[in-house]
Structure 1
Amino acid sequence: MKRKLLLKLLLLLCIFGYQNAEAQIFKKKKKDTEKEASTASKDKILSYDKVITKEAISDEGLFTTHVVEENYFFEIPDSLFNKE
Structure 2
Amino acid sequence: VQDIVKDEKILRIAEAHGKTATQVILRWHTQLGSIPIPKAGSLQHQQENIDIFDFELSEKEMEVISSYHREDGRLWNQDPSEYEEF
TM over 0.5: no
Normalised to the residue count of structure 2, the TM-score between the two structures is 0.25
**Which structure dedicates a bigger proportion of its chain to strand?**
1
Structure with larger RCO (C-alpha < 8 A, sep 6+)? 2
Q: Which has the larger radius of gyration?
A: 1
